[in-house]
Amino acid sequence: MSEAAVPLLETSGLTKIFGRLTALRSQSITVRTGEIVGVIGPNGSGKSTFFNCVTGFLRPNAGEVRLSGQPIQNLPPMKIARLGIARTFQGTRLFAGLTVRENVRAAAQLRHPSSMLDAVLGTPRLRAVEDKVDAMTAELLGLVDLHRQADRRAGDLPYGDQRRLELVRALATGPRLLMLDEPAAGMDAAETRRLLELISDIRHRYKLGVIVVEHDMDLIMNLCDRIQVLAAGETVFEGTPAAVQAHPRVREVYLGHE
């Protein structure tokens, strides 16, 4: 009941100014658990700025960001990550020198800390925690078919695999809200199709709200429950995929570019 009353993520009046450029103007968005919201717009429309303001990588000049009702706009990004917002980056940021498995383990481990004493002595408690982390890592790698590549260096994977790895690494932190910045970039049609299935699957399996920024209209239209269209830092339209496709102003602003 309270879940219905308080949305998972709610922003209001979110504004970011770079010098003379207002990159984001009074932006509002609402995401509920189990919902996938798409954010689209031409390059420079403020999508990434919006992303970075929500995750704390940029500090907004004005406005509020609430996660389950709690204001988070003034918290540092690592605190926001720990509160349950996981993100991926445009163009991937992996621990390239670590293996595929280590990338996911590292993120999963942060949720299961062990004490110095346990670590040095290798106590049963440590074993139990490690087993839990290993099981979670295995489950996540299996989810994206990277289980056969577990011991490869992450930096050596093909680009599409790197994107999927970054996605499950974000999941390994145990988020409530998952924010994906152009997850299909560099993927072919078949891979994009699998990504679509994956994202719709995990939102139920892990009880997530999801925000997706993407240029691939096929993915956005088939994946999202709602879509918000940005242009020059402002929302010009918000609605279901069908409504967005039908709207003449949206076609002009964005789809016309295709």
Partner 1 sequence: MSTPAGPTNAELAALRRPAAGNPTWRAVRNYQAINIVVLVTLFLGFCTGYSLLYPDQLRFASLGNLSVLSQQVPVTAIVAIGVGLLMIGGEFDIAVAGTFTLVPFVVAITSAGSWGWPIGVSLLAGLAVALLIGLMNGMITTRLGIPSFIATLGTMFFMRGVIRFVSLNPTTKQPDNIAFFPGDALKALLGGQIIGPIYAQMLWLIGVALIGYALLNRHRFGNHLLLTGGNRDAAVAVGVPVRNVKVTAFMLCAVTAGFAGILQGVRINQVEPSFATISGLELKAIAAVVVGGTSLFGGRGAILGIILGAVLIETVDNILVLISAPETIFKGFLGATTILAVILNTVIGRRARR
Site residues (vs partner 1, CB under 8 A): 55, 57, 76-78, 81-82, 86-89, 93-98, 101, 106-107, 109-110, 113-114, 116, 119-120, 131, 134-135, 137-139, 141-143, 145, 147-148, 150-151, 153, 156, 169-170, 172-173, 190, 193-194, 197
Task: Return the number of the residue (197 or 252) whose C-beta is nearest partner 1.
Answer: 197
Are 182 and 215 in contact by the 8 Å Cβ rule? The answer is yes
Smallest Cα–Cα separation from 163: which of 187, 136, 147?
A: 187
Shortest Å distance, C-beta 116 to partner 1 = 5
Are 189 and 196 in contact by the 8 Å Cβ rule? The answer is no
Task: Return the number of the residue (3 or 156) whose C-beta is nearest partner 1.
Answer: 156
Task: Return the number of the residue (65 or 229) whose C-beta is nearest partner 1.
Answer: 65
Shortest Å distance, C-beta 62 to partner 1 = 23
Measured distance CA(232)–CA(245) in Å, rounded: 20
Q: What are phi and psi of 99, to 5 degrees?
A: -75, 170
Shortest Å distance, C-beta 134 to partner 1 = 5
Task: Return the number of the residue (142 or 158) whose C-beta is nearest partner 1.
Answer: 142
Task: Return the number of the residue (144 or 250) whose C-beta is nearest partner 1.
Answer: 144
Residue 131 has which token pair? 């087993």
Measured distance CA(225)–CA(241) in Å, rounded: 7
Alpha-carbon distances, residue 104 vs 139, 173, 224 (angstroms): 11, 9, 26
Shortest Å distance, C-beta 110 to partner 1 = 5
